[in-house]
């Protein structure tokens, strides 16, 4: 809910149950503490805790300046049961002061995760992506992803920038995963985005609302697993699992 109202997550326990067959789930430290039993099984997803809050993520007010703060330390995340943490880096905010502060925050997250030996996912989200040409979005992703890797991120979560996405992957020394971003129109569109991402070098996907807002998250997760890991084409996966095309 830190992003604004997200239909489909009103009952947090229920939505976790629907998404329990994923490899990992991103949630806040306190939501993990409240639902620790959902992550206690041998085959349960790895809990990933978000460390930061950014004004640019709060969609209802359409903020654009990228002010960021740490809401959870790595130690607090680990105490709640996190197996990995995630922190965004907002850069190129047209403010040297904001950019400097965001680098400081991200670097502190790196220092904390290094002390405890827990992986950090660096998140590159281009707030103004709808206002930029795809080439501009691509170049920004390429720049910031590399900066996060140089600062110490162990994995990268980034916007999918199309057929040149392999350039982002080749430019960083750590695995890169793609963001689902806006809610897509159909299950087939979601599967196609996952397929295209991996075909252009992504190691996997980190999708949120495109899964938990789906009509049947359980079936969609199975289809995504087949597309990403088993080389099943999206159209075939839709037929196999009776999804919306």
Residues with a catalytic annotation lie at 157
Closest CA to 190 of 227, 149, 162: 227
Distance (Å, whole) CA 160 – CA 166: 10
Backbone torsions φ then ψ of 193, nearest 5 degrees: -65, -40
Distance (Å, whole) CA 213 – CA 219: 13
**Residues forming a β-bridge with 122:** 87, 156
Contacts with 41 (C-beta within 8 Å, 6 or more apart), sequence order: none
């Amino acid at each position: 809910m830190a992003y604004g109202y997200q239909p489909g997550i009103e009952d947090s326990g229920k939505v976790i149950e629907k998404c329990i067959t994923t490899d990992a789930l991103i949630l806040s430290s306190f939501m993990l503490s409240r639902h620790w039993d959902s992550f206690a099984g041998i085959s349960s997803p790895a809990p990933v805790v978000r460390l930061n809050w950014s004004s640019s993520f709060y969609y209802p007010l359409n903020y654009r300046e990228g002010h960021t703060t740490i809401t959870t330390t790595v130690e607090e995340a680990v105490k709640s049961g996190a197996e990995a943490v995630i922190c965004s880096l907002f850069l190129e905010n047209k403010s040297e002061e904001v950019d400097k502060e965001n680098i400081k925050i991200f670097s502190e997250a790196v220092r904390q995760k290094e002390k405890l030996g827990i992986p950090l996912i660096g998140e590159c989200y281009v707030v103004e992506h709808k206002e930029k040409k795809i080439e501009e979005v691509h170049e920004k992703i390429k720049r910031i992803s590399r900066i996060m890797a140089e600062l110490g991120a162990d994995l990268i979560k980034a916007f999918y920038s199309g057929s040149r996405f392999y350039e982002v992957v080749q430019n960083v020394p750590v695995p890169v995963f793609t963001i689902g971003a806006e809610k897509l129109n159909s299950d087939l569109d979601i599967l196609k985005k996952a397929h295209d991402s991996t075909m252009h070098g992504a190691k996997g996907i980190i999708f949120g609302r495109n899964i938990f807002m789906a009509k049947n998250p359980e079936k969609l997760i199975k289809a995504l697993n087949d597309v990403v890991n088993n080389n099943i084409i999206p159209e075939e996966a839709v037929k196999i699992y009776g999804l919306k095309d």
